[in-house]
Amino acid sequence: MDAEIIAVGSEMLTPHRQDTNSLYLTEKLNDLGVEVRFKCIVGDSRDDLTAAAKLAMKRSDIILFSGGLGPTEDDLTREAVADALGLELQRDPEIVVKLEQRFAKRGMKMSANNSKQADVLTSADVLQNPAGTAPGQWISGKYDGQERILILLPGPPNELKAVFEGECISRLRERIPVQHIASRMLRIALMPESQVDARVAPIYKTYADVQTTILAGAGEIQLHLRTRNESQAAAEARVEELADKIEDELGDAIFSRKGESLEQIVSYLLQMRSMTLAVAESCTGGLLAQRITSLSGSSRYFLGGAIAYSNALKTQFANVPKALIDRHGAVSREVAEALAEGIRKRCVSSYGIGITGVAGPTGGTEQKPIGLVYVALAGEEGTQVVERNFPGDRKRIRWFASQQALEMVRRALL
């Protein structure tokens, strides 16, 4: 079965806002064995919405609308779907009472426009919305001889999730033939896409029943494997087998097999070995620490460190001798090494990381061009330093540098 997602709202036709609900919905639909074949974004125009709904009824089995269910004049999804399907809207007195109660609870009187949210399409099931005022709606039936399911969902992401999880998944399961789907997401840091593909394409091409997608991000390649089979065990075995073969080829370049992030993997490894980490960041300016501490519980293995942005602070917080900076420059192998060793000593951590580089767009020279980054990792066994020339803009160079640092910790812990 194929689905179509129609995101409703003029704000998503501006340069400032994007539809993100469809990513969540796609994931949930894929889990049920439903593929998303079209996504559309339509503004708050009744005619445009009606046309989009009519078109979707022709080409898609399941049509999901997100947004346009609120109380304002701009909220027109109900009306447009009624137009497209030739249905009536009827105000549901039970929903009106619930809306009034919701407002009363907060000591507010409900303004009249809110009643609009109680307008229900004839033949629709009301989908409870525990997180907000506008309920969702579910309509299924034959249109032009084809079985169709229409789902109207509220736009705010937390409400959409609450309604979809509470009311839609079980309903969809009843109507969709049981399917057994297994997937894996292999992630690889700091390897060019072409290189990964050249090595793994000969392997995955022999698995015609496993859909394999390669996605390249900043400093990372993702391999998405996905298959269906007559049983869950068979599906799992099939993706596992392919994942094994790919791992045989790429070895420990693969940092994760179930989609975990690099910071998550580093977290597992540090905790497993009861080791700790501290950082001294210059050009990344806190990005590495921010990534590490984005995980709850990171205080178990991450002590902290210094943002040694100025040279004085490299000395002050990470014991980098001023003379060393004067001799080699702040962006140098020697200073990276001293930052890593200094911060490790100061923080009394198992590992210390030092990063220094030219993130640009200014400050590059012929000898030390933009993108030149030194990353050092100091541990009990000694210190290693890597010199890299990262491509891209400031944001990308900084990201690459943090990725390099995490990858070095991971490899040291293997």
Which of 347, 355, 375, 377 forms a contact with its own copies (CB under 8 A)? 347
DSSP-derived secondary structure letter, 156:
S
Q: Which two tokens stand for residue 251?
A: 């070895």
**Which one of residues 212, 298, 332, 356 is an interface residue with its own copies (CB under 8 A)?**
298
Nearest-CA neighbor of 317 among 283, 342, 284, 286? 342
**Sign of the dihedral defined by the CA atoms of residues 25, 27, 33, 38, in that order:** positive
**Which of residues 281, 337, 341, 407 is near its own copies by CB under 8 A?**
281
* Least gap, CB of 285 to its own copies (angstroms): 3
Where residue 259 falls (left for φ over 0; alpha for ψ -120 to 50; beta otherwise) is left
Rg, the chain, Cα only: 27
Cα 198 from Cα 249, distance rounded (Å): 11
Please state whether the peptide bond connecting residue 157 to the residue before it is cis, i.e. omega within 30 degrees of 0.
no
DSSP string, 248-304: HHHGGGEEESB---HHHHHHHHHHHTT--EEEEESTTTTHHHHHHHTSTTGGGTEEE
Tell which one of 115, 140, 179, 222 touches its own copies (CB under 8 A). Answer: 222
250-279: which residues touch its own copies (CB under 8 A)? 279
Kindly state the smallest distance separating residue 120's Cβ from its own copies, in Å.
27
* Contact call for residues 217 and 262 (beta carbons, < 8 A): no
How far apart are CB 289 and its own copies at their closest, in Å? 3
| 311 alpha carbon, distance to own chain's centre | 36
Strand order, beta sheet including 220-229: 210-217, 220-229, 180-189, 254-256
Choose, by CB under 8 A, the member of 42, 196, 266, 375 that binds its own copies: 42
Contact residue for its own copies among 46, 161, 171, 224 (CB under 8 A) = 224
Q: How far apart are CA 186 and CA 265, in angstroms?
A: 13
Region at 113 (left for phi over 0; alpha for psi -120 to 50; beta for the rest): alpha
11 interacts with its own copies by CB under 8 A: yes
Residue 20 or 146: the one with the smaller Cβ distance to its own copies is: 20
Identify whether the C-beta of residue 339 lies closer than 8 Å to the C-beta of residue 332. no
Distances 305 to 194, 292, 394 between C-alpha atoms, Å: 36, 12, 22
Among 63-71, 240-248, 294-302, 319-327, the segment contacting its own copies (CB under 8 A):
294-302
The Cα–Cα gap between 184 and 186 comes to 6
Q: CB-wise, 119 or 281, nearer to its own copies? A: 281
- Binders of its own copies among residues 64 to 103 (CB under 8 A) are none
Which of residues 93, 130, 202, 297 is near its own copies by CB under 8 A? 297
Q: Report if residue 111 touches its own copies, rule: CB under 8 A.
A: no
Pick 135 or 305: Cβ nearer its own copies = 305
**163 sits near its own copies (criterion: CB under 8 A):** no
Pairing mode, strands 180-189 and 254-256 = antiparallel
**Stretch binding its own copies (CB under 8 A), from 48-56, 120-128, 168-176, 239-247:** 48-56
Query: For its own copies, which residue of 33, 71, 286, 321 counts as binding (CB under 8 A)?
Result: 286
Q: How many CB atoms lie within 10 A of CB 299?
A: 10
**How many whole angstroms separate alpha carbon 26 and alpha carbon 340?**
43
Integer Cα distance of 406 and 414 in angstroms? 13
Q: Does 401 interact with its own copies (rule: CB under 8 A)?
A: no
**20 vs 90, beta carbon nearer its own copies:** 20
What minimum distance in Å lies between the beta carbon of 94 and its own copies? 27
Asked if 388 interacts with its own copies (CB under 8 A), we say no
Part in contact with its own copies (CB under 8 A); list of ranges 109-117, 121-129, 292-300, 334-342: 292-300
Q: Would you state the structure tokens that stand for residue 78, as one six-digit string?
A: 């109900």
Stretch that binds its own copies, among 75-83, 138-146, 169-177, 312-320 (CB under 8 A): 312-320
Q: Does 17 contact its own copies by CB under 8 A?
A: yes
Q: How many residues interact with its own copies (rule CB under 8 A)?
A: 74
Binding of its own copies by 16 (CB under 8 A): yes
Q: Which of 13, 97, 169, 201 binds its own copies (CB under 8 A)?
A: 13
- Sole window of 4-12, 193-201, 202-210, 264-272 interacting with its own copies (rule: CB under 8 A): 4-12
